[in-house]
Amino acid sequence: MDKLARKFYTCSDTVLIARELLGKLLVVPDFDGKRVSGIIAETEAYLGLEDKAAHSHLGRRTKRTEIMYAKGGVAYVFFVYGMYFQFNVVTGDEGSPHAILIRAVEPCEGIDIMRKRRGTMPDKNLTSGPGKLAIAFGIDKSFNGADLCGERVWIEESANQTPAEIVCGSRVGIDYAEEWAEKPLRFWLKGNSFVSK
């Protein structure tokens, strides 16, 4: 399967891309070249300047948020709560700081590697949250800025994509964002058991 092309990330609306990412395959080859992959089951859109929940709200530009201003199709990885990395996809044109947080995936290839990284626990719990999937995929700060058209991490069409209904709701963990906290910018595959709680 081919990697999604640059224009997928730059030539449409962030909210639309957040929906389209569902059902696609997130792929990270490990050092052996062995693939670790999962079907994207849950995403959240963060909309640049106006979104009070976004790190780039009001054009805030710091060392951390700098990569959000890059051209779409690169990774934005940040560290939070002293323990967890969050994997985001930057979208839009250069200078437009939009991003999509990948909140959950359904393990596909390399499940043994994921189990090893996450330790003993039910498979249902391997990648059912943004911090968990970063651990399972071995995503850390060094992935920040990685080109999704490169060799480090990418997204491709899923071969046996079973059509599923997409539903939306409010985003989680952003109670500080006032009226933006309730906007329906979180999307997931209906009934998928890997969607975070």
Partner DNA sequence: CAAGTGATTAGC
Partner DNA sequence: CTAATCACTTGC
The interface with DNA within residues 130-169 (CB under 7 A) comprises: 130-133, 141
Q: Which is nearer to DNA, 108 or 133 (CB)?
A: 133
Residue from the set 7, 49, 95, 125 that interacts with DNA by CB under 7 A: 125
Q: Which listed range, 22-30, 55-63, 109-117, 151-159, lies at the site for DNA (CB under 7 A)?
A: 55-63
Tokens of 22: 């569902």
Q: Which listed range, 1-9, 29-37, 47-55, 148-156, lies at the site for DNA (CB under 7 A)?
A: 47-55
d(CA 176, CA 51): 12
Instruction: State the DSSP string of 166-187.
Output: EEEE--SS-GGGGGGGGSS-EE
**Three-state SS for 107?**
strand
Tokens of 187: 């999307």
Q: Which is nearer to DNA, 2 or 38 (CB)?
A: 38
Q: Which listed range, 1-9, 54-62, 107-115, 156-164, lies at the site for DNA (CB under 7 A)?
A: 54-62
Q: Is 196 one of the binding residues for DNA (CB under 7 A)?
A: yes
How distant, in Å, are the alpha carbons of 92, 150, 159, 160, 173 from that of 136?
28, 20, 22, 22, 21
Q: Which is nearer to DNA, 33 or 136 (CB)?
A: 136
Q: Is 188 one of the binding residues for DNA (CB under 7 A)?
A: no
Q: Which listed range, 3-11, 14-22, 158-166, 172-180, lies at the site for DNA (CB under 7 A)?
A: 172-180
Residue from the set 7, 34, 60, 190 that interacts with DNA by CB under 7 A: 60
d(CA 137, CA 92): 25
Instruction: State the DSSP string of 115-162.
Output: HHHH-SS-GGGSSSSHHHHHHHHT--GGGTT-BTTSSSSEEE--TT--
In 10 A of CB 26, how many CB atoms?
25
Q: Is 176 one of the binding residues for DNA (CB under 7 A)?
A: yes
Q: Is 75 one of the binding residues for DNA (CB under 7 A)?
A: no
Helix axes 130-137, 111-118, angle to 10 degrees: 110
Q: Is 91 one of the binding residues for DNA (CB under 7 A)?
A: no
User: Residue numbers of the site for DNA (CB under 7 A)?
Assistant: 44, 46, 53-56, 60, 62-65, 68, 76, 78-84, 86, 88, 99, 101, 118, 121, 125, 129-133, 141, 171-174, 176, 196
